Amino acid sequence: MGSSRFSSAAQGAVSRRRLLAGGLALSAAAALPGCKSRMSGLLTGADAHPADYPTVKAVEFMGQYLAERTGGRLGIKVYAGGQLGSETDTLEITSFGGLDLNRVNFAPLNSVEPMTLPFSLPFVFESVPHMRRVVDSEVGEEVLAAMEPHGLIGLCIYDSGARSFYNTRRAIRTPDDMAGLKLRVPASDLYVAMINALGANAVPIPFGEVYQSLAQGVIDGAENNWPSFVSARHYEVATYQSLTEHLLTPEALVMSKISWDRLSPEDQDLVREAARLSVGEMRRLWDLRVTEAKATIAASSVAVNEVEKEPFAALMRPVWEQFITTPQQKSVVERILAMREG
Ligand code: GTR
């Protein structure tokens, strides 16, 4: 099951082995032949973020909705804080049916499904409203649907704001300032190519290890949105934040196709409806969180600088060409660009 694009099974933590054995997913025993609509239980989900983060809250909102609509027959339990492993690991586990739901950034999906690459292109989205317009359109639906052959049902797309660079060394104002910096990236070849094209050195590290790597000087910096910069406490160590806003890559909520197939068609509709409704709740919480995070940074010792984006964007052309190769990907990129205002 799952795709050959996934590496061999995630190793390590006992909890992850339990997951691979199907220990946390909606029980197969509940799905007796002919009894699909009576399926009951808690859908399990994983998230790299802490329990109070907007993505976790949005999936819990979805769970409450499911519980209300089914009289408690269905619900969701989110394992937050990355306790079940990196996003790459939990995605693999989800595709095998060891977890029902997984909220991830598009970055770890890049190596799973090439149709996720257009959303991860640097400077492809001009603003948050532009990104929302795109993901709310048929383009969002197409990209979500492309995950199914990999054992993943794309349920909805959440915000992730704009990612900017931060580091322990110096303010970044032009691409020249990036020369030689060791910058952490998520597990995505596109991110590696982006950093290298800017003249820095990309170091792929799971999100949960970034704080320690910064503190120990293993890396000089990283890049992320305002809420993650604050909640992961990276700002305590990396005190130069440069507003490149190079990525507005969104996030995805996916469901294991194995778990999905155990639901009755009515429950599948309900899960889709709950996911759709959770997007509005997520955006509300997200916007509040961005404001809060900016206030935290303003009151901290972080030096924030604005950046002229054009010189950075100009260096991204080869990256676009390297990763956008199929007619389907090109069509998505064209439609994204056509939805710009400017
Ligand atoms: C966050 C995102 C996470 C994860 C993390 C990272 O903004 O919400 O899903 O991708 O960035 O940089 O790994």
Residue 56 near ligand 1, beta carbon < 6 Å:
no
Q: Which of 110, 160, 231, 254 to mutate to test the pocket of ligand 1 (most atoms within 8 A of CB)?
A: 160
- In the chain, ranges of CATH 3.40.190.170 domains: 8-159+249-293, 163-248+296-338
| Distance from Cα 43 to the centre of ligand 1, integer Å | 22
Predicted pLDDT of residue 8: 38
Predicted pLDDT of residue 25: 78
**209: nearest Cα among 184, 182, 230:** 184
Nearest atom within ligand 1 for CA of residue 206: 13
Assigned token pair, 222: 């990283």
* Dist. CA 90–CA 274, nearest whole Å: 22
**309: nearest Cα among 254, 247, 258, 260:** 247
Ligand 1 atom 8, closest CA: 105
End-to-end CA distance of the chain: 44
Residues of the chain with pLDDT under 50: 1-4, 7-14, 28-38
Ligand 1 atom 11, closest CA: 224
8-159+249-293 architecture in CATH? 3-Layer(aba) Sandwich (3.40)
| Distance from Cα 6 to the centre of ligand 1, integer Å | 19
72 burial level (CB within 10 Å; 0-12, 13-18, 19+): exposed
Residue 186 near ligand 1, beta carbon < 6 Å:
yes
Predicted pLDDT of residue 39: 60
Nearest atom within ligand 1 for CA of residue 223: 12
Ligand 1 atom 1, closest CA: 228
Ligand 1 atom 6, closest CA: 207
- What CATH code would you report for 163-248+296-338? 3.40.190.170
Residue 22: C-alpha distances to residues 28, 95, 193 (Å): 9, 11, 36
